[in-house]
Structure formats: C-alpha cells, structure tokens
C-alpha cells in the first residue's frame, strides 16, 4: 500500500465509488478508495436499484438526470454489466392537489431542460403498466429514461472505470483514525498509514463515526426501509415488455419488475431509526428482520394497487437501512472548519444521485467550485444546532414519513421546532404571530386572530387577505418587522477595509453609510447579495441571509487575510425594522440623536429609549425605513418601545410573507431565487453595483462577461393574468410555444393589485411590453414583461 495519495475516499459504496470515478475522470488519478470490507458492503448491495427523475429541488433533479445519463458511460468504460433496464417510469397522483402538483412539477422539468417526460391519463398509464389498478388515480407523469440497474454491478462499474483511469481501490481495510496535519490528513488504517491532502467521508451507514474521527458531528441518521420481491406473476409472463418503474405517491410504494415478478418498495409512515450513532463495524451483509405489521397499511395499499400481488407469494423480504439528513438531501462538500475534509454522506438515493454527487464533489475539489448550484445538498446548509441527536431524530423521521406526502409551499412542518426563538417570541406569539422557520430560528410570517389556521394550498391561501392588510399598513403608515432573521457579521482589525474591498465586488461605503455589495466566486458567479455597513469607528458589518450563516462563514474563512477579525453576530444581535412613511415619526420619539438627518443608506449608533442600538436607514419593503439592531437580550424591550411609540401612527406588526410581496413590488431580488451561485452579475442586474476600477475576487470572469456577448438571460419583472394562484419559482415562460425563460420567484403584489413574478428570460424577450405566457400551478396564463419596480419606480418613498 502506498503511503501517500492526493485524495483518500473512505467507503466503497456507490457514492464513494462515484467520487473516485469522477476525480480520476477529471484528471486526479493519485486517488484511492479504502473499503472496510468489500465494495457495496453498506447500504449499496441491498438497494432496489431504481432510478427516477422527480425531486422537489430542481437543482437536485438536474443532478439526478445527470446520473441517469451516466449509466451507459460507466458500463461502457468499465466493461462491467450493470443490468441496466430503461423501462421508463410512471409517477401517479391520487388526489386533486397532487395531480395539480404533478402537472406543475412537469412544467418545472421543462424549465430545467428535462424534456423526456409527459403527462399521461390514467388510461394511458394503465396501458403502460397493465398490472396496476387505476382506482383512485387521477393522472400521472411518464419519464422515458427511468428504470432500474443492478446495484452491485453499478458500484463495480464506477470503481472499475476509475481504476482504468489510474485510481486505486483497497478492500478489507478499515480506516481507524484520522488526524489533521499541516498538509492535509493522516489516515490510519488496518493496513498502515496513508497521508493525503484531502479525505472524503463516503462511509454511508458509518458516516457518523467517520465524521467523529475528524471531530465532525454530521446531521445524518440511518432509517430502516422495506421492499419485497414477489414470486413469478403470470400476467408478467404474458407481456412482451417490462412494466415501468412506477411510483404511487398516495400509496407510499414504488414498484419495478424483477425477472417475472416485481419488487415493491414501501415508504413506511411509521418510520424506524436504526443505529443513530452509525452501524456496528462488524455489520456486513445481514439485514433486519422484516416487520410486516409496521407496514400493514402501506402493504395493503400496494396490494390493492397491484392486485396480482394478492395471487402470488413473497419470494424475498428486504428490510435494510440507509441514511438521511434532516431535509433528505445529501450532505456534500468541504466541511466548515476542517480544511481538506469532504463530506459525501446522507445520500438517500445513491444510485439515483450518486453520479451528481461524485461529479459535484470532484469539481469542487479540483476547480474550487462545482458547476451546478448545489446549495440544496451543501453540507454547510446546516449549523451547529443540527448536531443535536433529538433534532436529527425528529427531522430525519419527519422526512422519511413524509417522503411520499405532498408538502405545500405554505405548509409549516413541526419537527425540530421551535428551536431558537428571538427575545420577543412570547410577546409576538401573544399578538397572533404565525411562525415559520429559517435555519434554526423562528421567524414571523404574519399576524392573525386567535384560532386562525392556514389551510395548506398550492394557490392563494386563506392568509391572503391578512397579508394584504399588512402590506397596506406598511405602504400607508408604518409596519414593524422582527429582523432577527438577518445575518450579521462584524469585521474589524487593521486590514478589515482591505479585505472587504477584495471580497466585495462593489465600492465600499463611506463612514456612516451602507451599500449593497455583490460578492463573487472566482468564476464570476454570485456568492452573496450582501449589504456592507461602515460604522465609522473601524468596524464594519456584512448583512445577508440568516440561513446562509455557515455557508458564508466558510467562504469568508477560505478567503481570509491577516489582520482581520471576523465575528458572526448571529447569536448576539437581533432587531426590528420600521418601514413606511410614518417610520421617522415613530423612531424620532425615541431618540435625541440626529435620526432625522440620517440619509437613505446612512447608518450609525443611536440611543433608542433605554437601549443603545445600531440603526441603518434602509428597508427591503421599499419604503422609508429604519433597521434597528439591538443586543439579543434587548429584543423584547425594543419591540415594546417601538410599538408604544408607534401607537398613535397605528403601527402594525407584519411578517415575512408581507415583506416578500412588498419587495416583489419593488423588483428587489432575493437569494435562492433571483440570486444564486448559479447566476452571474450580468444576468441578474447585480453588475450595476460592481466597481470595475478596483480589483476583487471574480473580477476577470466578471469582466469577461461584461465584455463578451452579454449574459444569456436577463432578469425581468412580469405581470401575470393569474386566477387565484401566483407563480412561485421555476415555472416555464413561453413565447409562441417556444420556452424563453423561467420564473425565479412570484407572488401577489397586494398594494399594486397584480400577480407579479421575477424571471430570467432570454434578452430578446426582456423588453417591457413583451407578451408571453407562463404556467402557474400547471395552467398556462397570459403574462407580460413590465418595467422594473411596479411600485414607486423612482424610489421616492424609500429615499423620503
């Protein structure tokens, strides 16, 4: 065994093998995979091997699509048969809402370039899968490329193809210990020690322990999962084709053909965790005892959906474990704070997602960033709070139970909540606050009368009018919003300004001023839509999206320089925002400081009642506004005094649902919608904040975009002739039957009385007045591009 490799991948399941393959394919052949037992000896050997395209996160759906296309390549490259059966796939809907959801999911697929799908009637579906009963079904979606593979063959194909490109696979060699060194990692194995620059945790069922070897507590847990393989089904013997991979969402089952029988997999509503601290080291090719009682309901539904199962016996039961993160998506990428330690864990559907995970991780390691926007599976989307075992148990359990349950966009799920609450939480709850979750924090959505319950809906919900009233209150008077859910980083030290000037693409604000600041990656794509504050005393703040705290901190750390002190103030600071024409009247009453002189985008420290606060004059609502930041412990007092001072002006508390509507009326983009790490400054209009005269991270790529042929897409605002439902994101936009773009976010503009959306469209269709159409909840609606900022286009209200 060699004593040095550039990369050591721990784990020879489908994920580790795919990572190895992609590293070798991209030119890093000094890489080795270490497997405790033999390849496939974790979850991989007993997987059902099915692959289908659907995923709620369009970026992950794209990576799944990549994996599906990779199967032929690895089979050919390795010469290893992977038992590829491209039977096509059906996803069936059994409730009216689900059928609507599936129709919009189909449109999302079109938006992201997956075109080999089509909607089918129940009759068509029954012709495609004749052993299925159509009872209760309303329609389905067909996908050409779906099917199943032989799991062991597939892992060996990845590993074989990697070996052909120079990679090494070492079996029967457990990794015992990991020690961080100056150059990377010392990997202590049963067969000796290896030094490497990078180590990848692809240890599947043992990911928890391999994380702990590096002092990392990954939010991952195994859960048990059942499938059965039936005896031969006479009906199938008579068919001259294989039945497609079929998912019955309302029945909690998936099915594929297995020789002349079928494999029926069950997503158990009554879920069961297994070995939350990781599988025992001696665990190998054994399975858990099947437990038909636990899955009786789902089994009954499955046997009713496929009546032929009632006539034949069960040949084999499989009850095995695989791993889940709290939101069910993988945990991929560089682990914050552990240089050279990479996660490729919690890959729930390794055969479906493993290719995309391997590709992204290899690109990340070799090029510094993955090609796709992989935020949805980035290990840095969680914070330290997600290390808690009870949190992991509740959230992974919730995900598993709801795997085939439809989640509505306005639905709030209870697991792991409430976790962190701001100081005024109890008072705000008493005032009727309905809460949502951002990362670990409870954030206000809107304020309702006692007993109000919002019905889950794909369309406008019964909270629509409440949110409308809150929007009007902000536009016409003054509103109060809890902004504890913004991130705040403090930058100080002798090189603070120099560092900020390098990582932000904009000019820095003068003392006592704030400025919008795009932050770019080296490849010129966006890394943040931030606001920088210069407090004038040598300290600066960076403000952004709260849920990106770890993600941004990892980026800042990776680009740090001597002489800079950076602190995440997320646990220390909280705040409220006053917005609306009467906001000055309210805040003026509470301070003898020169608050009335504070110009738009000005900032400073003020006494606010008894409290010492930092105040910035800006608002996401597009009104005159004051963001008031206080110590976390002062939050309840700050709320009380602001409400008291605003009583005469009819101050009204509002939530983020109203803010999202108000910002849409101003065409203000937000992260994860208009701005993502997949988009560039030119596409999104962020280029208008760039200071082209200075040097900054990502400049050469940004200049290349500016001086090239221009961006391929342009961010626009649209008005939709909607009917009871608004766009939400990823809906395709059409002109004369040709797709010309997609929605980035949408909603109702309550004070302009229009259904609005922001969208990326090809530049030829970006002019105001251009008529287009857009699918909203699966229905095509007329729409048109309008000038940006339908409310107060000149910005008079916010400049005051």
Ligand X SMILES: Cc1cc2nc3c(=O)[nH]c(=O)nc-3n(C[C@H](O)[C@H](O)[C@H](O)COP(=O)(O)OP(=O)(O)OC[C@H]3O[C@@H](n4cnc5c(N)ncnc54)[C@H](O)[C@@H]3O)c2cc1C
Interface positions with ligand X (CB under 6 A): 10-16, 34-37, 41-44, 46-50, 174-175, 202-206, 210, 225, 227, 318, 320-322, 347-352
Contact, 464 vs 748, CB < 8 A? yes
Give the 3-state secondary structure of 623-673: CCEEEEEEEHHHHHHHHHHHHHHHCCCCCEECCHHHHHHHHHHCCCCCECC
Measured from the CB of residue 721, what is the shortest distance to ligand X in angstroms? 41
User: Which of 236/361 has CB closer to ligand X?
Assistant: 361
User: Which of 268/731 has CB closer to ligand X?
Assistant: 268
Closest of 500, 590, 581, 598 to residue 797, by C-alpha: 581
User: Which of 399/656 has CB closer to ligand X?
Assistant: 399
Q: Which two tokens stand for residue 258?
A: 């297995």
User: Which of 50/655 has CB closer to ligand X?
Assistant: 50
Q: Which two tokens stand for residue 341?
A: 């330690």
Measured from the CB of residue 368, what is the shortest distance to ligand X in angstroms? 24
User: Which of 42/89 has CB closer to ligand X?
Assistant: 42
Closest of 369, 421, 413, 649 to residue 525, by C-alpha: 369
User: Which of 358/604 has CB closer to ligand X?
Assistant: 358
Measured from the CB of residue 128, what is the shortest distance to ligand X in angstroms? 19
Separation CA 436–CA 409 (nearest Å)? 12
Measured from the CB of residue 236, what is the shortest distance to ligand X in angstroms? 19
Alpha carbon separation from 709 to 178, 547, 712, 798 (Å, rounded): 49, 35, 8, 35
Give the position of tokens 């009247």: 585
Measured from the CB of residue 92, what is the shortest distance to ligand X in angstroms? 17
Measured from the CB of residue 381, what is the shortest distance to ligand X in angstroms? 18
Contact, 143 vs 53, CB < 8 A? yes
Measured from the CB of residue 223, what is the shortest distance to ligand X in angstroms? 9
Q: Which two tokens stand for residue 526?
A: 């966006």
Strand 526-534 to 31-34 pairing:
unpaired
User: Which of 174/706 has CB closer to ligand X?
Assistant: 174
Alpha carbon separation from 337 to 343, 389, 504, 556 (Å, rounded): 13, 21, 22, 11
Give the position of tokens 């039977």: 87
User: Which of 109/158 has CB closer to ligand X?
Assistant: 158
Measured from the CB of residue 356, what is the shortest distance to ligand X in angstroms? 11
Measured from the CB of residue 317, what is the shortest distance to ligand X in angstroms? 10
Measured from the CB of residue 378, what is the shortest distance to ligand X in angstroms? 17
Give the 3-state secondary structure of 409-445: CCCCCCCCCCCECCCCHHHHHHCCEEEEEECCEEEEE
DSSP 113-131: T--SEEEE-HHHHHHHSTT
User: Which of 151/585 has CB closer to ligand X?
Assistant: 151
User: Which of 176/610 has CB closer to ligand X?
Assistant: 176
Sheet with 526-534: strands ordered across: 513-520, 526-534, 540-545, 486-492, 565-568
Name residues whose C-beta falls within 8 Å of residue 438's C-beta, 6 or more positions apart in sequence: 485, 546, 547
Measured from the CB of residue 633, what is the shortest distance to ligand X in angstroms? 43
Separation CA 233–CA 608 (nearest Å)? 76
User: Which of 348/645 has CB closer to ligand X?
Assistant: 348
Give the position of tokens 């040949």: 315
List, in sequence order, the alpha helices (H) in 28-112.
Answer: 58-78, 96-111
Measured from the CB of residue 296, what is the shortest distance to ligand X in angstroms? 18
Contact, 515 vs 508, CB < 8 A? yes
User: Which of 196/503 has CB closer to ligand X?
Assistant: 196
DSSP three-state, residue 369 = coil
Separation CA 724–CA 457 (nearest Å)? 11
User: Which of 347/496 has CB closer to ligand X?
Assistant: 347
557 φ/ψ sector (left φ>0, alpha ψ -120 to 50, else beta): alpha
CB burial of 338-353 (b: ≥16 within 10 Å; e: otherwise) equals: bebbbbbbbbbbbbbb
User: Which of 256/699 has CB closer to ligand X?
Assistant: 256
Measured from the CB of residue 160, what is the shortest distance to ligand X in angstroms? 16
Separation CA 571–CA 632 (nearest Å)? 7
Contact, 370 vs 363, CB < 8 A? yes
Count other Cβ atoms within 10 Å, centred on residue 12: 31
Measured from the CB of residue 323, what is the shortest distance to ligand X in angstroms? 7
Measured from the CB of residue 69, what is the shortest distance to ligand X in angstroms? 15
User: Which of 80/534 has CB closer to ligand X?
Assistant: 80
């Amino acid at each position: 065994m060699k004593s040095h490799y550039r990369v050591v991948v721990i784990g020879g399941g489908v994920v580790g093998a795919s990572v190895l393959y992609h590293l070798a394919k991209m030119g890093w052949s000094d890489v080795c995979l270490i497997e405790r037992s033999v390849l496939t000896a974790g979850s991989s050997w007993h997987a059902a091997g099915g692959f289908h395209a659907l995923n709620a996160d369009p970026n992950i759906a794209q990576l799944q699509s990549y994996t599906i296309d990779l199967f032929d390549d690895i089979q050919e490259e390795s010469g290893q048969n992977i038992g590829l059966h491209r039977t096509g796939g059906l996803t069936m809907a059994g409730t009216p809402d689900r059928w609507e959801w599936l129709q919009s999911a189909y449109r999302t697929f079109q938006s992201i370039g997956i075109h080999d799908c089509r909607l089918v009637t129940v009759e068509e579906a029954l012709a495609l899968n004749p052993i299925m009963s159509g009872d209760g079904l309303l329609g389905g979606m067909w996908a050409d490329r779906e099917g199943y593979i032989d799991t062991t063959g597939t892992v060996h194909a990845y590993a074989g193809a990697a070996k052909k490109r120079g990679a090494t696979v070492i079996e029967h060699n457990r990794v015992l210990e990991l020690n961080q060194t100056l150059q990377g990692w010392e990997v202590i194995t049963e067969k000796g020690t290896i030094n490497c620059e990078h180590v990848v945790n692809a240890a599947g069922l043992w990911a928890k322990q391999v994380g702990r070897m590096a002092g990392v507590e990954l939010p991952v847990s195994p859960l048990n999962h059942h499938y059965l393989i039936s005896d031969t089904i006479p009906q199938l013997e008579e068919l001259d084709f294989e039945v497609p991979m079929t998912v019955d969402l309302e029945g909690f089952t998936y099915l594929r053909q297995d020789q002349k029988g079928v494999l029926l997999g069950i997503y158990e509503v009554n879920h069961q965790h297994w070995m939350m601290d990781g599988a025992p080291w001696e665990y190998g090719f054994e399975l858990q005892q099947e437990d038909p009682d636990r899955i009786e309901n789902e089994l009954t539904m499955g046997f009713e959906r496929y009546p032929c199962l009632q006539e034949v016996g069960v040949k084999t039961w499989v009850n095995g474990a695989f791993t889940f993160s709290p939101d069910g998506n993988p945990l991929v990428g560089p682990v914050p704070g552990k240089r050279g330690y990479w996660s490729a864990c919690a890959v729930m559907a390794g055969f479906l997602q493993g290719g995309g995970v391997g590709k992204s991780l290899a690109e990340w390691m070799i090029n510094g960033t993955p090609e796709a926007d992989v935020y949805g599976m980035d290990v840095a989307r969680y914070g330290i709070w997600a290390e808690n075992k009870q949190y992991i148990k509740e959230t992974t359990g919730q995900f598993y139970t709801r795997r085939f349950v439809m989640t509505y966009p306005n639905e709030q799920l209870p697991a792991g909540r409430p976790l962190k609450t701001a100081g005024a939480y109890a008072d705000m709850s008493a005032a009727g606050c309905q809460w949502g979750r951002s990362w670990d924090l409870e954030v206000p959505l809107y304020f309702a009368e006692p007993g109000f319950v919002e019905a889950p809906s794909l369309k406008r919900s019964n909270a629509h009018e409440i949110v409308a009233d809150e929007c009007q209150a902000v536009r016409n008077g003054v509103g109060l919003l809890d902004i504890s859910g913004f991130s705040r980083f403090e930058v100080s030290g002798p090189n603070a300004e120099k560092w900020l000037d390098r990582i932000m693409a904009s000019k820095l604000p003068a003392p006592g001023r704030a400025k919008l600041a795009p932050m770019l990656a080296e490849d010129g794509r966006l890394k943040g839509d931030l606001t920088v504050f210069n407090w004038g005393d040598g300290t600066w703040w960076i403000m952004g999206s709260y849920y990106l705290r770890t993600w941004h901190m990892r980026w800042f750390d990776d680009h740090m320089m001597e002489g800079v002190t950076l602190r995440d103030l997320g646990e220390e600071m909280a705040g409220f925002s006053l917005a609306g024409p009467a906001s000055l009247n309210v805040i003026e009453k509470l301070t003898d400081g020169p608050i009335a002189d504070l110009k738009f985008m000005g900032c400073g420290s003020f006494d606010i009642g008894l409290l010492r606060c930092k105040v910035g004059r800006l608002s996401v609502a597009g009104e005159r506004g004051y963001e008031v930041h206080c110590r976390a412990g002062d939050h309840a007092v700050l709320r009380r005094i602001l409400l008291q001072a605003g009583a005469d002006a009819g101050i009204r508390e509002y939530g983020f649902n109203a803010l999202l509507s108000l910002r849409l009326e101003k065409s203000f983009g937000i992260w994860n919608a208009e701005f993502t790490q997949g988009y560039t400054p030119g596409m999104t209009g962020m280029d208008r904040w760039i200071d082209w005269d200075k040097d900054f991270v990502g400049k050469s790529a940004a200049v290349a975009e500016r001086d090239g042929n221009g961006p391929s897409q342009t961010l626009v605002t649209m008005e939709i002739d909607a009917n009871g439902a608004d766009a939400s994101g990823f809906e395709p936009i059409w002109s004369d039957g040709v797709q010309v773009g997609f929605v980035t976010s949408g909603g109702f503009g309550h004070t302009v009385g229009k259904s609005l959306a922001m969208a990326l469209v090809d530049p030829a269709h970006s002019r105001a007045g251009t008529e287009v159409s857009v699918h909203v909840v699966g229905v095509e609606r007329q729409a048109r591009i309008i000038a940006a900022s339908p409310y107060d286009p000149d910005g008079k209200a916010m400049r005051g």
